[in-house]
Structure 1
């Protein structure tokens, strides 16, 4: 054998070992075993966290039978108040409720519905002993990548749990009234990859601290497939749920929506080739935000700040992330001329 090759053999062996080829050597086996043990403990710890969260929260999630539809709800307090989606209760006023811990069906009645935010509160006629209210978390602490569980009754399968992550926050989503939604445009929603199916609406989106961070409300539609888009669901944030539910529980109705408005009624206008081109103001009541800024019936709103407005929906979406009292620049057309007004937003 050539002496040069003889000298290279030990060097190649050393290179192979340092490149990760040493797993089969006796010295490397304990390290590999330790890594496997650490991974197994991590998996066991995560599974334990899942089980603990489900054990903590699932007893607070109920199934709601609204006659023609079935949805979910969350026990809000020990007096029997349950918060859910407005589209779950629909036009019904009485309901049959099944708690996760038993098959006994309980009667409930509507307290109030707030379709503008797709939220509603119902109350059990005879709250059972041991009713467990859910704990609601802080929406400001919800972070992308956070592990979450969705609990509810998808397709009528009560006490079902799916898992995923928070995919995004601060989404503005418009519901379709045609498919049973309220037609509401809702801001600051939590996007999740946890499966959201019919019947999950009104249930709980939960973090691993056993806190409800949102109410699953709808899944994204895929126009190409003609159905929902897998892995893209949306939940109303806990802060808005508490704001609305507290008012309904305490006063029987929503008195302070916290949602911004121009205080106008309008309609989408079309160009000669039938393309949406803005929102024509039909009514701008005196004392409302728009009227105070000089906007009047007949004006066509075409922009809010840097957002182009072409339809009623785009106008609602532009306002969804705003708060009453915020100032926005509204672009509008009057008699073929474009003007801009600074509007201090009112409230829905």
Structure 2
């Protein structure tokens, strides 16, 4: 299993935030902000009266970088909104001048109506669901009455995103709207599986951008932005550390790449749904099976879609899939992750057991 698929086995959780906790989070921030100034004015640096110090001039490069940050934040933050649905808070990015907003499917959940707050604080706005696509954890909603001057974000080219690029994460972490954090692109091309519990959709998402920028519950659906002021991804997941009681693993977050966001959003806007997922499928439903040691040992095929990829290759209910090409399959999640690297009409070798015998067949993959 390659590094991107190995990382996908780390536990991740969606970044939606319950509204009931957001107020407590806000109070905590206010308290810590007060304590940060606890030294009081006039505490100084402890130098003796009459002494002099020389303040070194800030390097020009630092000034330029700071100016760049300020410019990007000023240009992009007005395009990032806060979304509230049935007591849960998330973020969104204005996609066009007509008031369409792209966000995560796990932010909208099963809701059809939402309350939206923009960075310019026009007051609470209402929005309606256009379409949600849980398979890629993306959704589009539309403001019922877009305000004057609503500004759409600019989405960048995912193929140009490189490890080391400086990025800013914008959204509403812990319900604190219009928040900005900074980091770098830590990796690209990650395949990550989102948990189905805790508000997640259970999606397996390929080619995600990994970032060190701090992202927390409430950042879901917001913007990961480069220093050219372009949205390069939608923050969606944060890794958790099982050794720390599944608390968030600092500095490991994942964003859906801008190219996939555009692909899905454009289809939703044009056709009202996703008509071409671009994602491979076997055409089965299955369940994870375990071995004598209670360890995941494969995917038992429960149903085979008539005329689907598996059906045409002769795979039957009761077969246990244990491999896809060179990747071992031990669970539904690992099968989804293996398929995420393929495209419809690609050919793959599927290894399975039937009546205690191991078999391998070539499958022409279908589409989700």
Per the normalisation by structure 2, the TM-score is 0.83
2:194 paired residue among 175, 178, 182: 175
SS of residue matched to 2:315: coil
User: Quick check: 1:297 aligned with 2:297?
Assistant: no
SS of residue matched to 1:179: coil
Task: Give the Å deviation of 1:68.
Answer: 1.6
1:120 paired residue among 139, 147, 172: 139
Indicate the residue corresponding to 2:290 in structure 1: 270
Distance 1:51 1:292 in 2: 57
Indicate the residue corresponding to 2:214 in structure 1: 195
Indicate the residue corresponding to 1:307 in structure 2: 327
Distance 1:262 1:235 in 2: 26
Indicate the residue corresponding to 1:345 in structure 2: 365
Task: Give the Å deviation of 1:272.
Answer: 2.5
2:351 paired residue among 315, 331, 334: 331
Task: Give the Å deviation of 1:273.
Answer: 2.6
Task: Give the Å deviation of 1:91.
Answer: 1.3
Indicate the residue corresponding to 1:58 in structure 2: 77
Q: Deviations over 1:164-195 (max 9, x none)?
A: 00000011111112121111111110000000
1:243 paired residue among 263, 275, 281: 263
**Greater RCO (Cα-Cα under 8 Å, separation 6 or more):** 2
Distance 1:39 1:341 in 2: 65
Distance 1:38 1:296 in 2: 73
Distance 1:94 1:232 in 2: 32
- Structure 1 38/316 Cα, relative in aligned 2: closer, same or farther at 3 Å? farther
Task: Give the Å deviation of 1:286.
Answer: 2.3
SS of residue matched to 1:136: coil
User: Quick check: 1:166 aligned with 2:163?
Assistant: no
Task: Give the Å deviation of 1:40.
Answer: 0.7
Indicate the residue corresponding to 1:18 in structure 2: none
Distance 1:271 1:57 in 2: 51
1:104 paired residue among 123, 143, 156: 123
Distance 2:303 2:113 in 1: 36
Distance 1:266 1:101 in 2: 48
Per the normalisation by structure 1, the TM-score is 0.88
Indicate the residue corresponding to 2:43 in structure 1: none
Task: Give the Å deviation of 1:282.
Answer: 1.0
My pick for the range that moved more, 281-290 or 46-55, is 281-290
SS of residue matched to 1:143: coil
Distance 2:122 2:253 in 1: 28
Indicate the residue corresponding to 1:284 in structure 2: 304
Indicate the residue corresponding to 2:39 in structure 1: none
SS of residue matched to 2:98: coil
Indicate the residue corresponding to 2:281 in structure 1: 261
Task: Give the Å deviation of 1:303.
Answer: 0.3
Distance 1:324 1:195 in 2: 35
My pick for the range that moved more, 326-335 or 233-242, is 326-335
SS of residue matched to 2:215: coil
Distance 1:235 1:160 in 2: 17
Distance 1:196 1:326 in 2: 35
Task: Give the Å deviation of 1:326.
Answer: 1.3
Distance 2:65 2:342 in 1: 38
SS of residue matched to 1:54: helix
SS of residue matched to 1:43: helix
Q: Structure 1: give runs of 5+ residues left out of the alignment.
A: 1-35
For the pair shown, the structure with the greater C-alpha radius of gyration is 1
Task: Give the Å deviation of 1:311.
Answer: 0.4
SS of residue matched to 1:290: helix
2:86 paired residue among 60, 67, 79: 67
Q: Deviations over 1:197-225 (max 9, x none)?
A: 00000000000011000000011011111
Distance 2:253 2:293 in 1: 35
1:91 paired residue among 87, 110, 125: 110
